Structure 1
């Protein structure tokens, strides 16, 4: 679970690396959420601006001083996901904090959800699950940055996303804001 694979897949990612981490209180996030998050995610969020994949996928992230708002948003997402599960719309996946349950890390502008399957001894063992808006669910058996690297290099398994992303034609845009300086 290393960000280096993603840096290899996105040629200009390294030049957008911040000089210092963003200053997110990960301890507070962990305390409020009830779990730590995978280290590749925290590293990506700490050191890089928002990444928008092919004007389609956005990675959910806390900002410094907005950790509680991030966790509140995660709780709302989990409640929505529980409703989807109760309707049979989660491909048989459970919802966090149930062991192995889904916890969201991103979404698309068309309603696709990107999750960790919270199974394994540590969060660094969690794998990516994609729930597409058309009801297709895919377990991708890799971590977040590995998934993004595969997606952007055309090595990800097909799972209902637009063809330009699945074929490695995806692009990365960087969204800068005040806490990205």
Structure 2
């Protein structure tokens, strides 16, 4: 299957403002606000960017500065860096890329893995091993789209950012192709 044959869901409007995207996520996950940091964290984004060879989208940076890693519905883990422990996030990305390359990769998809240009860069996974990634195409990280690799074999794109994807998936406004409906209960990790 080629990349142009993978399904794509496009939001009615792509949210480009990180604060607006986070507000949409907090609306979809009311319990999330109980986990909000008292003050935004000071993360060493230079370490993350150097380790990845790329910056990250503003919405995920905004989310990570306000929240620690969390799970939704005992299903989806959203892994975020912690101040002073940014290298742990990088190791998690490397580990997931190895798993993708070894056990998941379908060469006919027409997609590549990070750090290849436009490669898939993981940001989350489910307890059933579904993978949530960015497709790193475009002029900047703000252009990246979400790509989902379901354990059941479904691969698809979402034409918006990570935080908007989470808001729409958790809020039930996104068709969860090859994913189960999600319980909006939030737990810290």
TM-score (structure 2 length as normaliser): 0.81
Equivalent in 10, 17, 30 of residue 11 of structure 1: 30
Q: Which residue of 2 aligns with 1:125?
A: 143
Equivalent in 54, 61, 64 of residue 83 of structure 2: 64
Question: Following superposition of structure 1 onto structure 2, how do residues 84-103 of structure 1 map, counting pairs within 5 Å?
Answer: 84=103, 88=106, 91-103=109-121
Superposition RMSD on alpha carbons, in Å?
2.0
Q: Distance in 2 between matches of 1:22 and 1:172?
A: 24
Secondary structure of the residue aligned to 2:128 is coil
Contact 2:169 2:176 in 1 (8 A): no
Unaligned runs of 5+ in 1: 177-181
Question: Following superposition of structure 1 onto structure 2, how do residues 139-154 of structure 1 map, counting pairs within 5 Å?
Answer: 139-154=157-172
Q: Deviations over 1:81-138 (max 9, x none)?
A: 23346x5268432111122210000000111000001011111111111100011101
Q: Shift in Å at residue 14 of structure 1?
A: 3.6
Q: Which residue of 1 aligns with 2:132?
A: 114
Q: Which residue of 2 aligns with 1:179?
A: none
Equivalent in 148, 152, 158 of residue 134 of structure 1: 152
Equivalent in 71, 85, 96 of residue 77 of structure 1: 96
Contact 1:131 1:137 in 2 (8 A): yes
Contact 1:89 1:135 in 2 (8 A): no
Q: Distance in 1 between matches of 2:68 and 2:87?
A: 20
Secondary structure of the residue aligned to 2:30 is coil
Q: Distance in 2 between matches of 1:41 and 1:75?
A: 18
TM-score (structure 1 length as normaliser): 0.84
Alignment partner of 1:43 is 2:45: no
Contact 2:35 2:188 in 1 (8 A): no
Which one has more relative contact order, counting CA pairs under 8 Å at least 6 apart?
2
The 1:89/1:61 distance shift into structure 2, 3 A limit, reads farther
Q: Shift in Å at residue 147 of structure 1?
A: 0.5
Contact 1:18 1:47 in 2 (8 A): yes
Q: Distance in 1 between matches of 2:77 and 2:30?
A: 19
